[in-house]
Amino acid sequence: MNLQIAMMAFSICHFLLNRTGCPPTYILVTAFYDAQVRLFKSLFDGLTRYKGIRFMTVDSAQGEESPIQIIDMTTLGGAIPESVGFLGGRSNQVQFLAALA
C-alpha cells in the first residue's frame, strides 16, 4: 500500500468535485492491488461529498466505463526504478487500462 499515492488520488478527486463541478459518479479510481483499493475506500469512507466515486482493482474494472479514471500504478516490493516492475508481467492489464482510458 502507498498512502502518499492514495492521498494524491484523494486530492485529485477533491479538486474535481469542488472546483469543476464534476459529479462523483463520473470518477473511477483503479489500482492493481486490492490492498491499495481498500486504502482508497478507507480514506473516503463516511465522507458524503465523495459518495458515488468507484474504487476497483484493474481486474474488477473490466467492462466499466467512466468519464474520469484515476489509475494507481503503485508497485509492490520496490521495483527497480529503470523498469516497469511488476507491470512487465501484466501486459494484458496495462493494455486494458489504456483502452479504458
**pLDDT tens readout for residues 33-50:** 899 999 999 999 999 999
Contact residues for 47 (Cβ-Cβ < 8 A; gap 6+): none
Q: Is 21 left (phi over 0), alpha (psi -120 to 50) or beta?
A: left
Locate 46 and state its grid cell.
463516511
Q: What is the pLDDT of residue 7?
A: 93
Q: Indicate the domain borders of the chain.
A: 3-100
Cβ(68)–Cβ(27) under 8 Å?
A: yes
Cβ(86)–Cβ(75) under 8 Å?
A: yes
Rg, Å, the chain Cα set: 14
Give pLDDT tens digits for 42-99: 999 999 999 999 999 988 988 888 999 998 887 665 554 544 444 555 556 555 555 5
> DSSP characters for 45-73?
TT-GGGTT-EEEETTTTTT---SEEEEE-
Q: Which CATH number fits domain 3-100: 3.40.640.10, 3.40.50.300, 2.130.10.30, 3.10.20.90?
A: 3.40.50.300
